[in-house]
Amino acid sequence: MKKQGLGILLSVCLLAGSLSGCGKAEEKDYYGQGVAQLEEQDYSNAITSFEQAVEKEQRVAESYRGLGIAALESRDYPTAISAFSRSLLNLDASNAAFEKDVQCYLASARSQYGENDKAIEVYTEILDKYKEPQFYYLRGKCELDEKDYDAARTDFEQALKGSKDYDMYIMVYETYAEHNMAADGDTYLEEALDIDVVEAQDYYNRGRIYYCLADYDNAKADLIQAMNDGNAEAVLLLGKVYMAVNDMANARAMYKDYMNQNGENPMSYNGLALCDIADGDYETALANVQKGISLGSGNAIKNLLYNEIIIYEYLLDFETAKAKMADYLVLYPSDENALRENTFLSTR
């Protein structure tokens, strides 16, 4: 089960002052302590602090929200669902932004827990007040998970009605692709190509669309135009395009150019490692991956950590691969590719 994105969930800072009234004065500020621990991604201790804040009646609605976020990040979905529901029940001040934010978290937690039918209900409640594209998309995503294809298509079409948001078109495509329905998603990508090209960023976005459609010639043409107009991200995607057509020399050149322009970064090292793997140079691939890992953080490091496991497999060092996989699954327990690879490793 995957997290739902779009950046609709408000940042931790909303916890700091979104509701009027700060609760009872306490000798120890468990609520503030929990906020600080959330910011440090210390979720276990944050859970304890927010539980203590609730017990001491410190900003109860916000403390339940914080507890829900920490539990969600810890993949303790029942606790997260309960906490977000209690946050809404304890909301005793009129704050539409806070209520909307907690509902978004609640819907996400329910979906990740496999309760798509209940997540759909929450998104429907949100859509009763906010007719925003991201909520139609997220409800459609849950509907597709539930194999309600007609409802999903209706919501996706509503999300994209009159849209010039390339990201939304690509997300709808990727959602279909995840369900082995890429042909259905292609239709939306083709619609995105009708968006008028106004600026350099549009060439980059068209290149993304063509890349998803595996139309590498057109992808290359648009990305080169975007690159010549100064779009740095086009350089990285060009590297992927060249790899897709087995042109490793030009792919390497793109990743090195990106580093020359932007400094050492995990994405370029990951790209170079993939070129090395394609060329069978696993030792160099491992060195590049590990350089990238030393620079990475957050989502940027995920692909590097996974590719490190694959490289150890190619090097026939299965014990290290197993150890790395165990660490990886602690961080990303729902990664289906990793789970399949772990099954393979268990036989070695």
Residue 191's pLDDT is 95
Q: Is residue 237 part of a domain?
A: no
Q: Confidence class of residue 1 from pLDDT cuts 50, 70 and 90? A: very low
Asked which of 89, 114, 139 is the last residue of a domain, the reply is 114
| Domain CATH for 166 | 1.25.40
Task: Provide, rounded to the nearest whole percent, the portion of the chain with pLDDT above 90.
Answer: 83
3 with 108, same domain: the answer is yes
- Tens digits of per-residue pLDDT, 55-88? 999 999 999 999 999 999 998 999 999 999 999 9
Among 142, 172, 195, the domain boundary falls at 195
**Residue range 249-265, pLDDT digits in tens:** 999 999 999 999 999 99
Q: Sorting pLDDT into bands at 50, 70 and 90, what band is 8? A: very low
**Is 184 within the bounds of a domain?**
yes
Please indicate, yes or no, whether residues 134 and 188 belong to a single structural domain of this protein: yes
If one counts the domains in the chain, the total is 2
The average pLDDT across 93-113 equals 93
Give the model confidence (pLDDT) of 104-115 as tens digits: 999 999 999 999
Query: Is 68 in the same domain as 177?
Result: no
> Whole-model pTM above 0.75?
yes
Domain identity same for 107 and 30: yes
Whether 233 maps to a domain, the answer reads no
Mean pLDDT of the chain: 91
In terms of domains, do 140 and 90 share one? Answer: no
Q: 94 or 212, which is more confident?
A: 212
Could you report the per-residue pLDDT of 156-179, keeping only the tens digit for each?
Answer: 999 999 999 999 999 999 999 999
How far is residue 120's CA from residue 103's CA, in Å, rounded to a whole number? 11
Give the integer Cα–Cα distance in Å for 194 and 203. Answer: 12
Residue 89 lies in a domain: yes
Residue 340 lies inside a defined structural domain of this protein: no
CATH value at residue 109: 1.25.40.10
Residue 278: pLDDT band (50, 70, 90) is very high
Give yes or no: residues 131 and 174 share one domain.
yes
Domain that holds residue 95: 1-13+24-114
Residue 156 and residue 99 share a domain: no
Place of tokens 């539990």: 71
Q: Answer yes or no: do 30 and 95 share one domain.
A: yes
Same domain, 3 and 109: yes
pLDDT given for residue 27 in this prediction: 57
Question: In this structure, is residue 338 part of a structural domain?
Answer: no
Nearest residue to 255 (alpha-carbon basis) of 229, 291, 222, 283:
291
Residue 7 has pLDDT above 80, yes or no: no
pLDDT score for 336: 83
Q: How confident is the model at residue 298 (pLDDT cuts 50, 70, 90)?
A: low
Asked whether residue 99 is domain-assigned, the answer is yes
With 60 as the cut, is the pLDDT of residue 130 above it? Answer: yes
Same-domain status, 81 and 135: no
Name 20's Cβ contacts closer than 8 Å, sequence gap at least 6. Answer: 93, 95
Choose the final residue of a domain: 165, 195, 225: 195
Instruction: Output the pLDDT for position 14.
Output: 52
| Band of pLDDT at residue 186, cut at 50, 70 and 90 | very high
Instruction: Identify whether 60 is part of a domain.
Output: yes
Range of weakest confidence among 21-25, 229-233, 305-309: 21-25
Same domain, 34 and 93: yes
Judgement on whether residues 74 and 32 belong to the same structural domain of the protein: yes
pLDDT at 21 over 50: no
